[in-house]
Amino acid sequence: MSGMWGNKLKVSIFGESHGVGIGITIDGLPPGVEINMEEVMKEMARRAPGKSNLSTARKEADQPEILSGFFEGKTTGTPLCAVIRNADMHSRDYGKLKDLMRPGHADYPGFIRYNGFNDYRGGGHFSGRITAPLVFAGAICKQVLQARGINIGAHVKSIGNIEDKSFYDVKVDKELLDNLKLKELPLLAPEKEDEMRTLILEAKKEQDSTGGTIECTILGIKAGIGNPFFDSVESTLAHLMFSVPAVKGIEFGKGFEMTKLRGSECNDEYYYDNGEVKTYTNNNGGITGGITNGMPILFKVGIKPTASISKIQRTIDISEQKEAELVIEGRHDPCIVQRAVPVIEAVTAIGILDLLIS
């Protein structure tokens, strides 16, 4: 099972949703970097479940226990390893799922890939629970990047067919990004919050779920970062985005909208601003030729509706090799978009730091 990623900054994740714990090892962090653990815990709290009726009732403290690579408040330069103990597991809810394959989940392909030896409880290693250590690693990477003047932030761009404003529509600065981090539903247009909450709770009442999109930006990154083709900024970030469960799409800048435009409408024309090169527009999302051009990086990801729903669904029983019906029990999110926001920010930070380390 592939649990490793990275070139100069390497991360390795481990654990299962209902196992003893989950965790991560980060190799390649520069030595002597001071880490504010209070800020790290704020990031962990943004992702943690059980805070409102918009998320699962499962309660986890998500308290990382650092085992190595961190001494007297600073990184040592050796691999930094942390474990997060699991606490609030209801494994009995998953007893019958040993043989009944949940639609929309990795149960069937995981069973085939690992010859039936995979831990199916709560999704095992395929679970969104494993994003907790990614947020821990991303929180550390964010602090390293902030020391270099680089800030990362995201917001809920849409829930179902309800749209928030875009970063294109507002003045984006560090203050705005910091304020978004304080909200359960981080929106640029707060007046949309009640409408989105109603949609999520309606889906929950109907024993269903809903999805949406997340828009992310990176401020302060200089031109000339990245490579063409295989190690482009886009391919690096896309690789990490698709490592987050439920992400099914990504577009940079204006993305698919550009397919409807002409080159004269898409090209970002250059100008000098007190000797600094900028572009009048940012249709390419701060990246051209796979390399940063000095404008803010901007991209959007699509999050599918939560696969675990309580409606009756058709499936198969692999032990008896026959068709069956399934009602998924347990505690599940009617929408995971809002909890995925810090995860998207975290893997973005991991990817950008990997590109920056010399």
Q: Does the annotation list 17 as a binding residue?
A: no
Q: Is residue 6 marked as binding?
A: no
Q: Is 245 annotated as a binding residue?
A: no
**Nearest Cα to Cα of residue 140 among 333, 343, 346:** 346
Residues 6+ apart with CB under 8 A from 195: 162
Burial level of 13, CB count in 10 A (0-12/13-18/19+)? Answer: buried
Neighbours of 57 (CB within 10 A): 14
Q: Which long-range contacts (C-beta less than 8 Å, at least 24 apart) are formed by 276-281?
A: 277/223
304 annotated to a ligand binding site: yes
306 carries a ligand binding annotation: yes
Dihedral sign, Cα of residue 304, residue 178, residue 282, residue 225: negative
Distance, in Å, from the CA atom of 5 to the CA atom of 57, rounded to the nearest integer, reads 31
The encoded tokens of residue 134 equal 């990614």
Return d(Cα 58, Cα 105) in angstroms, integer. 19
Q: Any binding-site annotation on 2?
A: no
Q: According to the annotation, is 308 in a ligand binding site?
A: yes
Element at 136 (helix H, strand E): helix 131-146
Angle between helices 37-47 and 337-356 (to 10 degrees): 140
Q: Is 123 annotated as a binding residue?
A: no
Check whether 126 is labelled as a binding-site residue: yes
Q: Is 305 annotated as a binding residue?
A: yes
Which of 260, 267, 160 is closest to 206 using CA atoms? 160
State yes or no: 348 annotated in a binding site.
no
CB neighbours of residue 2 within 10 Å: 7
User: Which amino acids are annotated as binding site for FMN, given as ranges?
Assistant: 125-127, 289, 304-308, 331
User: Which amino acids are annotated as binding site for NADP(+), given as ranges?
Assistant: 47
User: Which amino acids are annotated as binding site, given as ranges?
Assistant: 47, 125-127, 289, 304-308, 331
